[in-house]
Structure 1
């Protein structure tokens, strides 16, 4: 007796719950898939906007570069979220990682990936966004170095890689230009000793050398991982005065898309 009403109810429920197109059904599964800022959703928004990432070794001059352009009209600057890495509800995963990378490498890099994803996806309010590093270098340089140096187990490396690959496939973390501040490890080491950040006191020259070679493999040789955008290389071993001159000389190549002729 109950079979016919039950079939009728099930048929109505299936018709009601059948997924429709995102445009016609804001609450459907299809619509939820497009909740992330994908390329098509942001196509018009990004037509007149660009995202530039300043990349380079530790103490290569990234902060100086960002400060130089920070007062320029129509530019928003996002510095690397180091304060967050130093204090996660009272814990300092950055300091812990430098003390014991084997134990804390996954912990730090998981949080780095999260905070860099937040940087990439927050609404852009001005025509140009200048970012210190990116989610790409977090994976291709720093996670890769932990794994290659034997300080990250393969299972941790695989899990982080799976997360990164999912992010790149499903979320818009695209960038328009990479400014690579190319320095020698020795120069970075001398600068590190001068600025005396607490966590960096334990960083040896060998670590800076490893980071340098991974940056070179990624951005110069192109033999390691995909390069997310055109690369503008600026030699950054110079003193402050010379570096400010170089930033000024490259202002248009960095900030104006039409002037980014990055060939030889």
Structure 2
């Protein structure tokens, strides 16, 4: 299964009882799962804006029978939504402390009560300079105003989380692919590691 976009934000509901009702789930191994749901392997592609995430997803879709694949591959995750984007909003003063506290509380509840486990994180490690250059080249209307400072902040948070692993817990093994090269070389590196991506293991692996 291919999920083009990860969770950008989770709903804020007024009380855990309403959240549990909204999930409409049953408990399995101590966590909530949708009734009758089968847990497939989950691969998350993480990285800065314009790091090549969509390109890798499209390559995976072309080279994999998505309907028969026992995995889900998605762009970003609820973890990067919290650890990267919510954190950046709060650190930059664009999110009030009360909003940050509420989001953190709900994030902790979700992590503790719903099975959203990840089996492998593919981190496309890209310099802010490369991302900025790609943004200017692809010239999307919604990206024209993104400053270098924003890309630097997002890069710094990714590095603290997935490389240094000093700020937030890492929920899965991390496969690091250097993505400063052109897209053809990124795809080649992605292809070289396709077997590892399709069969995630429990050891951290860096390229």
**Which of the numbers 29, 51, 54 marks the counterpart of 1:60?**
51
Unaligned runs of 5+ in 2: 1-19
In structure 2, what is the Cα distance between the partners aligned to 1:194 and 1:39? 47
Is contact 1:74–1:128 with CA below 8 Å preserved after alignment? no
Instruction: Report matched runs for 1:80-229 at 5 Å.
Output: 126-229=69-172
In structure 2, what is the Cα distance between the partners aligned to 1:128 and 1:34? 21
Q: How many residues align?
A: 183
Residues 37 and 131 from structure 1, CA distance in 2 versus in 1: closer, same or farther, beyond 3 angstroms? farther
The answer to whether 1:262 aligns with 2:188 is no
| Range with bigger deviation, 216-225 or 67-76 | 67-76
Q: CA RMSD in A?
A: 2.5
In structure 2, what is the Cα distance between the partners aligned to 1:189 and 1:34? 39
State the partner residue of 1:36. 25
Deviation at 1:34, TM superposition (A): 9.1
The answer to whether 1:71 aligns with 2:13 is no
State the partner residue of 2:16. none
Larger radius of gyration: 1
In structure 1, what is the Cα distance between the partners aligned to 2:198 and 2:143? 31
Is contact 1:36–1:170 with CA below 8 Å preserved after alignment? no
Q: C-alpha offsets along residues 39-92 of structure 1, whole Å, 9 cap, x if unaligned?
A: 43769933xx3110000000000001001110233436xxxxxxxxxxxxxxxx
In structure 1, what is the Cα distance between the partners aligned to 2:135 and 2:28? 39
Give the structure-1-normalised TM-score: 0.64
Give the structure-2-normalised TM-score: 0.80
**Which of the numbers 21, 45, 50 marks the counterpart of 2:38?**
45
Residues 62 and 170 from structure 1, CA distance in 2 versus in 1: closer, same or farther, beyond 3 angstroms? same
State the partner residue of 1:22. none
In structure 2, what is the Cα distance between the partners aligned to 1:205 and 1:179? 23
In structure 1, what is the Cα distance between the partners aligned to 2:105 and 2:183? 40
Question: When you count helix as a share of all residues, which structure comes out higher?
Answer: 1
Residues 252 and 224 from structure 1, CA distance in 2 versus in 1: closer, same or farther, beyond 3 angstroms? same
